[in-house]
Amino acid sequence: MFMKLKLALLALLVFCGVVGFYTLKKEEKLTKEQVIIGYVFKVTDAYHYLPMKIDDAYSGKAFKQYLKALDYNKRILLLSDVKQLKKYEMSIDDEINNAAPLDLFENALALIQKREQEIRPYYKEMLLSAMDFNVKESVENDPDKREFPKNEGERKELWRKLLKLQVLSRYYNLKEAQSADSIKVKKSDVDLEKEAREKVLKSYEEWTKNIEQVDRMERFSTYVNALLSVYDPHTSYFAPRAKQDFDISMTGRLEGIGATLSVKDGYVKVNEIIPGSASARQGELEAGDLISEVAQGAAKAIDVVDMRLDKVVSMIRGPKGTEVRLTVKKIDGTTRIIKIIRDVVVIEETYAKSAILQKSGGEARYGYIDIPQFYADFSGKGGRNCSDDLLIEVERLSKENTKGTIIDLRNNGGGSLQDCVKMVGLFIESGPVVIVDDKSGESQAYTDPDPRIRDAKPLIVLVNGFSASASEIFAAAIQDYHRGVVMGTASTFGKGSVQRFFELDEFMPDQAEYTSAKPMGAVKLTMSKFFRINGGATQLKGVVPDIVLPDAYSNMKLGEKEEDFAMPWTKINPASYQLYKSEPNYKELGSALVQRIDTTAYFKLLNAHLALMKKEEENTLQSLKYVDYAAESKAIESSSNALNGVSKRANGLKIDFLHDEQEAIKTDKVKKERLENFHKTLLQDAYIYQALIALSEMH
């Protein structure tokens, strides 16, 4: 309650401060973009965990970030363009502090659009003629090791090599696919090379269409986010449409028709109809249909051929109960107008799901729960929360008399902090779960108030390098309480900060100059930092598992520590907490696992594959000669295929349906198919099997 009151007071202070800062005089006239910049940084200064002085030193850092965002691959701008833009390098702080004209953005926008026009003929010209893959030459694949081209000649040469590399890659793939095919009539190398060029040409034509449809607001968002990235990697600006997409990803719900879409030859293609959705109930829209026009109810239809997919999707989405009309070309060649009343679409893959695991030949049953993200319905519109769903899964597994539980947080990037606290509380008695430290220096422990332990069985938490934020809080708390065993790769991601969204419109005064700027979008700010209950931050260091397993990403540069301007690791006073009643037998489990993976075919091949990938990663100078490229590719493919072949074999793992599922799948074919696909994925996962064995050995 205290934290909510403190945030409310701070919000009031910030609101007053922002309004006061931007009360216009009658003769002043700011653009919408200037208003957005001003509000974004005023709110950031008031709320951010580590506010900074906006001066020339800041401007220098922000300029470098914007240059990266503008042309990361250094294949569009010339060195002279960079020098021209540097004239505005030290004006960024004036734009923010004094509502000055956005000279850097305006000049950069004009330059990048001009250069984009200039390079369009490149790929059309260069992909017309056959390419010689016997010439010994190479291209630097790492933009950080390249400089901006000094002139158009250098830029064209860079494009020639980059395009040749892409054609070479497709040519190699076509040759390999043909050699593996049993057809008698084979295409010649000349025909395959031409086909490869045509594929690259088509991809660049799509790229050009997308570039043409990038609007000013998207370009402006890129600019604002480059400026904000100097604070930390997670502070960012969301234009209204981007904020809507984020909300959908966090709730697993959207209001629309319930179809997944892609682009094919300029048309929007229906890939899949989501079971139970508005489209499924209406019954006319089918997978394979091509959408050519979209109309809102009885309004005039808009041609969407060659339109960017995200824009078409935004037109098709809409409030529950409203009508959208789609003009579609059916698979049989007929054209039809389909009327669909929008409804809430639930994305099932977002939510927690469980299964029963057994070792082959064994009778003991163990519970497995996959949590893709810490989702929550922040809007209060009746959506699902991961803490409620986890409790349901725990209770379902309890009825199955399982002997232990695996919580899978691999690739879970986090989400709701409040739900994370409740979820840890299912496995411990009442106590602190995480300590949150805000910009004032005040620390508050978030505590599980429920003294009940809903699952007291042996527990394993699976993590990897992509487990971040709330996933790290969960794993760290289980580890600090000695409640269970954390298994996974060398370290989790290392994101130890808390973000909150602020809708900019809520800070707007009533002046007409401001109301005309709505909607302005939102800013996501890092407001606080969280710490383990032992006092150490998860920031940068992440959570080091009790039992470490190698994985395919072990050699990749992953995690918060690789990000520009990541906040530092720090330590605070620990919370007061009691260890769990019994401590897992870490040493025995770890020793047994090391012996197993040293003799397990999958992990032996994995270690060899990692060594090969590390060598390839360090060699960023890519040969454009076919024999060299083919040799490198075959070595990687051979290693990867051997690894995949082993991981997909029977590995001693059995998956079973829960009792309530066994009844449901008798009549629900869609649910049966979804569960069978889920089980198939688990059967191919060597890490789940190792977790199961360790769980069976825990005491």
Q: What is the pLDDT of residues 220-261, one digit of tens each?
A: 999 999 999 999 999 999 888 766 666 655 555 566 777 878
Out of 314, 346, 378, pick the residue that ends a domain: 346
Range of the domain at 113: 53-230
Quick one: pLDDT at residue 251?
54
Tokens linked to 379: 């809007």
**pLDDT tier at 587, thresholds 50, 70, 90:** confident
- In this prediction, residue 686 carries a pLDDT of 87
634 and 571 in a common domain: yes
Q: What is the pLDDT of residue 513?
A: 63
Catalytic positions: 469, 480, 495
Kindly state whether residues 268 and 198 are assigned to the same domain. no
Q: Per-residue pLDDT averaged across 596-612, rounded?
A: 82
Final residue belonging to a domain, choices 346, 364, 397: 346
CB 21 within 8 A of CB 4: no
Burial 55-90 (b: 16+ CB within 10 A, else e): eeebbebbbebbbbebbeebbbbbeebbeebeebbb
- Top mean pLDDT of 141-145, 437-441, 458-462 is at 458-462
User: Shortest CA distance to 484 belongs to which of 508, 464, 456, 465?
Assistant: 456
Whether 292 and 351 have beta carbons less than 8 Å apart is answered as no
Quick: pLDDT tens for 104-130: 999 999 999 999 999 999 999 999 999
Instruction: Please tell me which residue, 587 or 575, carries the higher pLDDT value.
Output: 575
Residue-by-residue DSSP string for 5-40 = HHHHHHHHHHHHHHHHHT---TT----HHHHHHHHH
CA nearest neighbour of 525 among 228, 227, 248: 228
**CA atoms of 598 and 666, how far apart (whole Å):** 43
341 versus 287: which is more confidently predicted? Answer: 341
Q: Which of 230, 263, 286 is the last residue of a domain?
A: 230
- In a domain? residue 338: yes
Q: Are residues 336 and 383 in the same domain?
A: no
Q: What is the DSSP-derived secondary structure letter of residue 225?
A: H
Q: Are 374 and 320 in the same domain? A: no
Backbone angles phi, psi at 547, to 5 degrees: -125, 120
Q: Which of 223, 295, 153 is nearest to 304 (CA)?
A: 295
Position 27 in a domain:
no
| Tokens representing residue 404 in the block | 């232990």
The structure tokens listed for 488 are 């996974």
Is 70 exceeded by the pLDDT of residue 17? no
Contacts of 261 (CB under 8 A, 6+ apart): 268, 269, 270, 271, 291, 309, 312, 313, 316
What pLDDT is recorded for position 9? 30
Q: Which two tokens stand for residue 68?
A: 């990266």
Residue 150 half-sphere exposure toward CB, CA atoms < 13 A: 0
**In terms of domains, do 361 and 330 share one?**
no
pLDDT of residue 189: 93
The reply to whether the predicted model has a pTM over 0.85 is: no
Same domain, 687 and 567: yes
pLDDT score at 640: 80
* Res 276: pLDDT: 64
Residue 425 forms part of a structural domain: yes
Claim to verify: residue 175 and residue 305 sit in the same structural domain: no
Written as six digits, the tokens of 410 are: 């691999």
Contacts for 103 with CB less than 8 Å, ≥ 6 apart: 88, 91, 95
Structural domain count of the chain: 3
pLDDT digits (tens, 9 = 90+) for 319-375: 888 999 999 988 767 788 999 998 876 666 678 999 999 998 888 999 999 998 898
Give the DSSP H or E segment for 527: strand 522-531
Mean pLDDT of the chain: 87
Burial class (CB in 10 A: 0-12, 13-18, 19+), 123: buried
Confidence of residue 552 (pLDDT cuts 50, 70, 90): confident
- pLDDT of 379 over the 70 cut: no
Residue 241 lies in a domain: no
Residue 403 has a CB neighbour count (10 Å cut-off) of 15
Instruction: Give the per-residue pLDDT at 636.
Output: 84
CA geometry: angle 345, 350, 355, nearest 5 deg:
120
Reported as a single tens digit per residue, the pLDDT across 616-653 is: 777 889 999 999 999 988 888 888 888 777 766 656 89
Same domain, 226 and 265: no
Q: Which residue has the tokens 């494009």?
A: 159
Q: Of the segments 20-24, 52-56, 686-690, which one has the largest average pLDDT value?
A: 52-56
CA–CA distance, 341 with 257 (Å, rounded to integer): 7
Q: Could you give phi then psi for residue 447, rounded to 5 degrees?
A: -115, 140
Residues 210 and 297 in one domain: no
Question: How many other CB atoms are found less than 10 A from the CB of residue 372?
Answer: 19
Q: Within this chain, do residues 181 and 264 fall inside the same structural domain, yes or no?
A: no
User: Residue 642 falls within a domain, yes or no?
Assistant: yes
Range among 265-269, 310-314, 576-580 with highest mean pLDDT value:
576-580
Q: Are residues 322 and 355 located together in one domain of the fold?
A: no
**Token pair recorded at residue 192:** 């395959």
What sign does the CA torsion over 541, 449, 389, 443 have? Answer: negative
Residue 217, pLDDT > 80, answer yes
Please report whether residue 78 resides in a domain: yes
Q: Cα angle vertex 572, ends 567, 575, to 5°?
A: 130
Rounded to an integer, the average pLDDT of 140-144 is 92
The whole-number pLDDT of residue 235 equals 95
Amino acid 26: pLDDT: 41
What's residue 12's pLDDT?
31
- Report CA-CA distances (Å) from 288 to 262, 274, 294, 306, 445: 10, 14, 17, 17, 52
For the chain, what percent of residues have pLDDT higher than 90? 54
Least confident of 25-39, 190-204, 230-244, 455-469: 25-39
- Return the minimum-mean-pLDDT range out of 353-367, 395-409, 510-524, 665-679: 510-524
Select the more confidently predicted residue: 7 or 65: 65
| pLDDT per residue as tens digits for the range 160-213 | 999 999 999 999 989 988 888 777 688 999 999 999 999 999 889 888 888 888
Q: Average of pLDDT values for 130-156? A: 95
Enclosing H/E stretch for 139: strand 138-140
478 occurs within a structural domain: yes
Are residues 422 and 502 located together in one domain of the fold?
A: yes
pLDDT at 5: 30
What was the pLDDT predicted at 8? Answer: 34
CA distance linking residue 474 with residue 423, whole number of Å? 8
Burial of 40: CB neighbours in 10 Å, binned 0-12, 13-18, 19+ = buried
In this predicted structure, what is the pLDDT of residue 583? 87
CATH of the domain at 331: 2.30.42.10
Alpha helices in 648-668 (DSSP H): 659-664
In a domain, 244, yes or no: no
**CATH number, residue 589:** 3.90.226.10
Q: Is residue 519 reached through a cis peptide bond, with omega within 30 degrees of 0 on the bond before it?
A: yes
